[in-house]
Amino acid sequence: ALIDIDALVAISLHITIDDLCSVYKTQFSVLRHRYDDVDRYDGGGRLVPPDVVKLAQKQGDETGAGLSEDERTWVHPQSEVTYVAAPPFRQLDREADMREAYARFLPLLEESTEESA
């Protein structure tokens, strides 16, 4: 949803997709390097715990497909809720997602603007 909002606001402010991606890369480097480059999400869209990601990387399969259910199981320390990460694990590409959202919304907003004129 945040990526869609970023794309919609950029379009409404006449910011090109290249400029939007440039802002992301230059102004949000902590987000990019500490989270987007490190975090992995499972097949259900949930954040995979770092220990599970490290184990998958150690076994040479970043998708987590080679991990047993026990190896993919993690207990949240505060809530004590048990989670089982579902392969495949994947890294999100925020820039590609922004470009996709921008391309999806641009024709719709241009069409809407033409109709109201």
111, 78: one domain: no
Complete DSSP assignment for 53-111: HHHHHHTT-TT-TTS-HHHHEEE-TTT--EEEPPSPPB---HHHHHHHHHHHHHHHHHH
pLDDT tens for 47-93 read 999 999 999 999 998 899 999 999 999 999 999 999 999 999 999 89
Q: Which residue has the higher pLDDT, 115 or 45?
A: 45
27, 67: one domain: no
28, 60: one domain: no
45, 85: one domain: yes
45, 76: one domain: yes
60, 73: one domain: yes
102, 73: one domain: no
70, 107: one domain: no
27, 50: one domain: no
23, 53: one domain: no
3, 32: one domain: yes
Place of tokens 């949000």: 28
Identify the domain containing residue 65 by its residue range.
41-91
Q: Which residue has the higher pLDDT, 3 or 114?
A: 3
Coil, helix or strand for 47? strand
Number of folded domains in the chain?
2
| Entry pTM | 0.73
